[in-house]
Amino acid sequence: MKRRDFLRYGIGISLASSSLYSLANMMNHAQHGNMAMMHSVPTGLMPTEAMPSGLSLNGMLPKLANQSTQAGLFKATLKAEPIKIRLADNKETEFWAYNGQLPGPQIEVFEGDTVEIEFINHLPQPSTVHWHGLDVPNEADGNPMDMVEPQRKKVYRFTLPQGSAGTYWYHPHPHDHVSEQVYKGLAGTFLVKAKNDPLAHLPEQHWVISDLRLNADGTIPANTMLDWMNGREGEFVLINGQYQPQIQVKTNERIRLWNATSARYFRLNIPGVKWIVVGTEGGLLEKPHSPVDELLLTPAERVEVIMVGETQGTVNLQSGYYDRRKMMVQEQPKDLTLATIQVKSEPVQLPESLRSLPNWDEPKQVRQIRFSEKMMNHTNMPMMNHGTHHATTTPTDNPIPPMMNGMFLINGQTFDMNRIDFVTKLNDVGRILRTFKIKKNVEVTDNGKIII
């Protein structure tokens, strides 16, 4: 695929060839040591009816204040710290949040601006701030090896290049701790705007879709072994921190969506409404896409859409079941209701062209990138009872359990922060092959995502 095409279409390339699927079946996870299949939902959790629902949603998120009076400079402070909120069943829950907000405050800047963020870590473990999708210097990107220790601070400084306008987000990325910090609430949105934005005249709404798991006592449980293997899916799916809210939408609004979950794939649909995609993770498309009934949104993905349709009145925002081919899990297909939507039809005229993308030459070489796995060492797995062939989903201590270290491989190697595996040039093309059954997506820093 040409890089121009990758930017143009942005989302959703499936690599499910028959040969790869056959190879994946040879490694069928359900046969690992003859272990029994299990259900993916742990027991002893907060019932969904205990969570307040149906509240009116404010579609605009609180913004992080700019402390600078200098033109072209955005200067602010982000503090990560524990907070306590009474949420489901009036039980107190401890979250980890940026500046006491869930999701964290929205950062809004323009192309060409210099951003200077002082990060203060008041968590009980090391952390970083990763500027997801932004074109920033390596030393300012909150990489796993650049951790900020508890009670310490770090200043992130970078300048946003022209052409970088788009819908981004920030979250922690410390090695061995990122999963816990994200499922406890650490994430926020980041908008880069262009002064010549062809859609600047449209009103906007911003929806951050996240999920949450709660014990019956209101605490947030640790990952289970199934979470480590398949990705964590919380039972409460939230929009801007609210459970099944009521949302008023006009069909002339530009809606920015973030999938801030760790593992959920959303097949979003609203009866009688179609989605026009105008932007993805790389910013605006060259032109609006044709209307579609369903919108696939994978973990960490962002998209900008306009709704069209003749529907008037109240309908549900739904997510259809998506089969991720989870390991050792047998689950019943189930659709989700995310919100109640009040739709009001308003005329909107979209430009035929949104922006121009450059042409790139044909690649001179194509590199193969092979995603594989090796059999997990489950001899002493705490979740298994081989004598009875029953499996439990007991939470495990963080970080990743030792028996899973080195389970997933790229070109036969496990991740090592101190080793450089790839050196690439602009216009280099990588062909990604997967040899395992479970579906995963791959982040491409500025331009999009591939489902493998």
Q: What is the mean pLDDT of residues 365-373?
A: 80
**Measured between alpha carbons, how far is 388 from 26 in angstroms, rounded to an integer?**
25
**Measured between alpha carbons, how far is 433 from 414 in angstroms, rounded to an integer?**
16
Q: What is the mean pLDDT of residues 98-107?
A: 98
- Each residue's pLDDT tens digit, 297-326: 999 999 999 999 877 789 999 999 988 777
Domain count, the chain: 3
Q: Is the pLDDT of residue 257 over 80?
A: yes
User: 29 pLDDT band (50/70/90 cuts)?
Assistant: very low
| 393 shares its domain with 444 | yes
In this structure, the dihedral spanned by the alpha carbons of residues 433, 435, 437 and 442, taken in order and rounded to 10 degrees, is -40
Considering only CA atoms, which of 320, 351, 340 is closest in space to residue 249?
340
Q: Which residue has the higher pLDDT, 375 or 351?
A: 351
Q: Token match 């797995």: residue?
A: 381
| 143 shares its domain with 212 | no
Rounded to 5 degrees, what angle do the CA atoms 92, 96, 98 make?
Answer: 125
Mean pLDDT of the chain: 83
User: 387 pLDDT band (50/70/90 cuts)?
Assistant: very low
| 179 shares its domain with 206 | no
What would the two tokens of residue 227 be? 């979470």
Kindly state whether residue 318 falls inside one of the protein's structural domains: yes
| 289 shares its domain with 336 | yes
Kindly state whether residue 82 falls inside one of the protein's structural domains: yes
pLDDT value of residue 402: 57
pLDDT value of residue 235: 94
Most confident stretch, 138-142, 252-256, 377-381, 391-395:
252-256
Q: How many CB atoms lie within 10 A of CB 445?
A: 14
Considering only CA atoms, which of 253, 305, 109, 112 is closest in space to residue 191?
109
| 123 shares its domain with 177 | yes
Q: Is the pLDDT of residue 370 over 60?
A: yes
| 76 shares its domain with 210 | no
Q: Which of 315, 344, 373 is at the close of a domain?
A: 344
Kindly state whether residue 421 falls inside one of the protein's structural domains: yes
Neighbour-count burial of 246, counting CB atoms closer than 10 A to its CB (0-12 exposed, 13-18 middle, 19+ buried)? middle
Contact indicator for 7, 445 with CB cutoff of 8 Å: no
Bond before 103 cis per omega within 30 degrees: yes
CA–CA distances in Å: residue 249 to residues 21, 262, 270: 41, 27, 12
| 339 shares its domain with 368 | no
Most confident stretch, 161-170, 316-325, 327-336:
161-170
| 207 shares its domain with 132 | no
Kindly state whether residue 274 falls inside one of the protein's structural domains: yes
| 303 shares its domain with 377 | no
Sheet of strand 242-243: strand arrangement:
242-243, 236-239, 204-212, 254-259, 302-309, 273-280, 283-284
pLDDT value of residue 377: 57
pLDDT value of residue 420: 83
Q: What is the mean pLDDT of residues 372-376?
A: 70
User: 32 pLDDT band (50/70/90 cuts)?
Assistant: very low
Q: What is the mean pLDDT of residues 68-79?
A: 98
pLDDT value of residue 378: 54
Q: The domain containing residue 173 runs over which residues?
A: 67-193
| 127 shares its domain with 165 | yes
Kindly state whether residue 51 falls inside one of the protein's structural domains: no
pLDDT value of residue 234: 93
Q: Is the pLDDT of residue 40 over 70?
A: no
Is the pTM for the entire model greater than 0.85? no
Lowest-pLDDT range of 55-64, 303-312, 438-447: 438-447
pLDDT value of residue 237: 98
Could you tell me the CATH number of the domain that includes residue 320? 2.60.40.420
| 253 shares its domain with 220 | yes
3-state secondary structure the chain: CCHHHHHHHCCCCECCCHHHHHHHHHCCHHHHHHCCCECCCCCCECCHHHCCECCECCCCCCECCCCCCCCCEEEEEEEEEEEEEECHHHCEEEEEEECCECCEEEEEEECCCEEEEEEEECCCCCECCEEECCCCCHHHCCCCCCCECCCCEEEEEEECCCCCCEEEEEECCCCCCHHHHHHCCCCEEEEEECCCCCCCCCCEEEEEEEEECCECCCCCCCCEHHHHHHCCCCCEEEECCEECCEEEEECCCEEEEEECCCCCCEEEEECCEEEEEEEECCEECCCCCCCECCEEECCCCEEEEEEEECCCEEEEEEEECCCCCCCCECCCCCCEEEEEEEEECCCCCCCCCCCCCCCCCCCCCEEEEEEEECCCCCCCCCCEECCCCEECCCECCCCCCHHHCCCEEECCECCCCCCCCCCCCCCCEEEEEECCCCCCEEEECCCEEEEC
User: 400 pLDDT band (50/70/90 cuts)?
Assistant: low
Q: Is the pLDDT of residue 10 over 50?
A: no
Kindly state whether residue 59 falls inside one of the protein's structural domains: no
Q: Percentage of the chain with pLDDT > 70?
A: 79
What would the two tokens of residue 135 be? 């074109």
pLDDT value of residue 88: 96
Considering only CA atoms, which of 173, 206, 204 is closest in space to residue 187?
173
**Measured between alpha carbons, how far is 297 from 305 in angstroms, rounded to an integer?**
12
User: 7 pLDDT band (50/70/90 cuts)?
Assistant: very low
- Each residue's pLDDT tens digit, 415-426: 777 888 877 776
Q: Is the pLDDT of residue 391 over 70?
A: no
| 98 shares its domain with 136 | yes
Q: Is the pLDDT of residue 165 over 80?
A: yes
Q: Is the pLDDT of residue 251 over 70?
A: yes
Kindly state whether residue 95 falls inside one of the protein's structural domains: yes
Q: Which of 161, 176, 193 is at the close of a domain?
A: 193
pLDDT value of residue 4: 38
Q: What is the mean pLDDT of residues 72-83?
A: 99
User: 167 pLDDT band (50/70/90 cuts)?
Assistant: very high
Q: Which of 317, 344, 371 is at the close of a domain?
A: 344
Kindly state whether residue 42 falls inside one of the protein's structural domains: no
